A and B are shown apart, each in its own frame.
Chain A
Amino acid sequence: MTGIVGYGAYVPRYRIKVEEIAAQWGKDPDTIKNGLLVQEKTVPGMDEDTITISVQAAKYAVQRARIDPQEIGAVYIGSESHPYAVKPSGTVLIDALDIGPDVHVADYEFACKAGTEAMYVAYSLVKAGEMKYAMGIGADTSQGAPGDALEFTASAGGSAFIMGSEKVVVEIEATYSYTTDTADFWRRELRMYPKHGGRFTGEPAYFRHVLGAGRGIMERAGLEAGDFAYAVFHMPNGKFPMKAGRTLGFEKEQIEPGWVVPLMGNTYSGSSPTGFVATLDIAKPGDRILLVSFGSGAGSDAFVFRVTEEIEAVRDLAPSFKSLLEENRIYLNYGEYAKFRGKILMND
């Protein structure tokens, strides 16, 4: 059996409400909230970035895995907001957690799918017998352009998963990926904000790949919606994952526990992985969980997870995701948010 032996998620404490951003641009907040099904989003502190978020999530994962970090043989961070264009995020993390130097490190990118691909590669190495433990992380602090629709949802957070074959907490029963060249959302080198194809990001992009991967994995694994306790999908807004889930035959009650976007926003590479961690706050041994990510460009990675008895022993070894998402929130106004996100032209 190979699967997750330790997991952790982290979101910063800062938030900004949809009303604040709407007021800034003269938009009606209720229209936005009803359209996106998002109320507020997480904002990284000025001293936080994809690396610090990954480090914190990874520390929680190590706490739950109860292993010596030195035994981790590979570390992969997937993000679309790595702090450097050239210089890895993963190397900072290994030195922070005292992993290595005999470790393989690579940074991954594929829009919002970068986290699940890091997870997939980490899992595959352990399954192949290459190493005892490998860690895959999805984290982001992505930017939404001022005044653009994405500004209401682009947020910060991430999750880390340590894969192994002993004392597995969540078994990985199946994996499946569905990928094509579809330019729905992109950012050219040296540009600060991405561009997107408007409504083209819906049916031909998100839904084609999420449904393709969802159907593909369920067929491969011989499962149907009723076999799952929870289903988690990439959450660019509140509506897309609900619609995808219902289309695949899932009930609202299966989708809601992992549907953290109304309070978190879209943490890009951290989105579906973090929704998945949210379900682990409450999952019981034997529960099956479906995870389908989506990354523009485009592709989806899918996993079928099965929670084991070990969950009871490790769940409380680190803070619950619910506590991080809902407690001690610090709300910002738009000016503070713009300062935190470096959107103000400084004299430097």
Chain B
Amino acid sequence: MITPKYTREIPQRYRLEAGRCTGCGYIAFPPRLVCPECDSRDFEKISLTPSGTILTYTVVHVAAEEFSTETPLPIAIIETDDGARLTAQVVDCAPEEVKIGKRVKLMFRCVQREGHSGIHQYGYKAVLED
């Protein structure tokens, strides 16, 4: 089914592997071939710091079918402490607790399960730092 794509994405989903542009410091997550800021094609491999701040968020009430049992589902745009940006669910909290500016840690969780017979798709999710 989708195992080739999922397997290819493991470095990003499991280890937050990104590319830092050696020209300007821009962090591409996922890694890219060319820097959108300075056009450089040279990147160094890094793993993002698994902590950051919520820039904006929403709580999804009407979700796609795969997530229909998880609503209300908080999802946020997070800026990691090393300056990268990503989108992740915010879990293990009441939806009302999610606010712009709060600090989060990125944890290893199962993001999707492919029905009863498919694979478990693991990746990162955010948890509010207390």
A and B touch in the complex (CB under 8 A): yes
Which residues of A does B touch, CB under 8 Å?
12-14, 45-49, 51-52, 55-56, 59, 83-84, 87, 92, 95-96, 98, 327-328, 330, 339, 346, 348
Contact A47 B10 (CB under 8 A): no
Residues of B within 8 A of A13 (CB): 92
Residues of B within 8 A of A327 (CB): 130
Residue of B nearest to A13 (CB): B92
8 pairs of residues in contact across A and B, judged by CB atoms under 8 Å: A45-B91, A47-B110, A83-B110, A92-B122, A96-B15, A96-B108, A96-B122, A330-B92
A56-B107, A328-B130 known; A47 vs B116 contact (CB < 8 Å): no
Interface residues of B in 24-73 (CB under 8 A from A): 69-70
A348 to B69, CA, bound (A): 12
B14: shortest Cβ distance to chain A, in Å? Answer: 4
Interface residues of B in 62-102 (CB under 8 A from A): 69-70, 89, 91-93
A327 to B129, CA, bound (A): 13
Residues of A within 8 A of B125 (CB): 47
A56-B108, A83-B120, A96-B122 known; A46 vs B70 contact (CB < 8 Å): yes
Residues of A within 8 A of B70 (CB): 46
Q: Is there a chain A Cβ closer than 8 Å to B115's Cβ?
A: yes
Residue of B nearest to A12 (CB): B92
* Total B residues in contact with A, Cβ cutoff 8 Å: 21
Contact A95 B14 (CB under 8 A): yes
B63: shortest Cβ distance to chain A, in Å? Answer: 13
Residue of A nearest to B109 (CB): A47
Residues of A within 8 A of B108 (CB): 52, 55-56, 59, 96
Residue of A nearest to B107 (CB): A56
A96-B14, A98-B15, A348-B116 known; A48 vs B110 contact (CB < 8 Å): yes
Residue of A nearest to B47 (CB): A98
A346 to B69, CA, bound (A): 10
Besides A12-B92, A346-B69, 18 new A-B residue pairs in contact (Cβ under 8 A), listed by A number: A13-B92, A46-B69, A47-B91, A47-B109, A48-B109, A48-B110, A52-B108, A52-B109, A52-B122, A56-B108, A83-B110, A83-B120, A84-B120, A92-B14, A96-B122, A98-B15, A339-B69, A348-B116
Residue of B nearest to A53 (CB): B108
Residues of B within 8 A of A47 (CB): 89, 91, 109-111, 125
Residues of B within 8 A of A46 (CB): 69-70
Residue of A nearest to B50 (CB): A59
Residue of A nearest to B70 (CB): A46
Contact B110 A49 (CB under 8 A): yes
B102: shortest Cβ distance to chain A, in Å? Answer: 15
Residue of A nearest to B7 (CB): A95
A339 to B69, CA, bound (A): 8
